[in-house]
Amino acid sequence: MGLFDGNKKTCDLCGEKMGLLGGIFTSEDLADGKTICGSCRGKCTPGELRFSAMTLDDVKANIAVAVANKKKGAAEFKATQKIKKGAYRGDEFVDIDAGHGWFMNAEEKDGWVYSLDDVYYFNLDLDYAPLEEGQGFEVRTEDYPELPKIPQGVRVTDAKLVIWLTDNELAVNKVEISAAGFSPDEGDIRGAYAAAHDFFLALKDYRASKVPAGKH
């Protein structure tokens, strides 16, 4: 018997003892005095969950939602459009299923399925570094009025598509999808703009397709 065995808590969901490797540091105390281990926490939806306000039954319901969402992604998601990023627009970015009104981060294998109906805002989030003398950085943004302009005197060092969602089953309010590769050059940033613009168009098309006949 180890010195700390007496302190080991048991997960109220899976029944496993929570050792150092069993997630004692990532365990969560619930509103009803129960505790779940880090591994069970990892089975929940990816949003910001307030475990201190959830009961064990709430956690079980949340895990059921997570399982159903993954099943949806694996069995029902049919990509009607695969938006690609990168200088040559060949890299996975966002998959759209216009039939169901869903989208997924195409970079994530077995990723989460989000609803296009929940999108209320999106933007291309940019990081900058100052241009050094003699350096240039040219990306035409005029074709993308819905996306941010790049200020003078800087180069873009990172770009990600940030999609804000209204309340949803996954409790995710913000989806962030990398739009440029590691240490991107101008071509990658052009690709990021074009890919984010394609997402904008896909969303627009989807919304237009939902307008009932006679209301155009």
Q: Tell me how far apart the alpha carbons of residues 66 and 85 are, in angstroms, rounded to a whole number.
A: 28
Per-position DSSP letters for 42-63, written without gaps between them? TTS-SS---GGG--HHHHHHHH
In angstroms, what is the minimal distance from the CB of 32 to Zn ion? 15
Of the pair 17, 207, the CB lying nearest Zn ion is at: 17
In angstroms, what is the minimal distance from the CB of 50 to Zn ion? 19
Of the pair 24, 189, the CB lying nearest Zn ion is at: 24
Nearest Cα neighbor of 70 from 23, 21, 110 is 110
Binding positions for Zn ion, rule: CB under 5 A: 11, 13-14, 37, 40
Report the sign of the C-alpha dihedral through residues 130, 134, 139, 140, in that order. Answer: positive
Q: Residue ranges of the alpha helices (H) in the chain?
A: 38-41, 56-75, 186-209
In angstroms, what is the minimal distance from the CB of 37 to Zn ion? 3
Of the pair 30, 180, the CB lying nearest Zn ion is at: 30
Nearest Cα neighbor of 197 from 146, 140, 156 is 146
Please check whether residue 88 is in contact with residue 191, taking contact to mean a CB–CB distance below 8 angstroms: yes
Of the pair 59, 96, the CB lying nearest Zn ion is at: 59
In angstroms, what is the minimal distance from the CB of 164 to Zn ion? 32
Of the pair 40, 94, the CB lying nearest Zn ion is at: 40
Please check whether residue 144 is in contact with residue 198, taking contact to mean a CB–CB distance below 8 angstroms: no
In angstroms, what is the minimal distance from the CB of 17 to Zn ion? 10
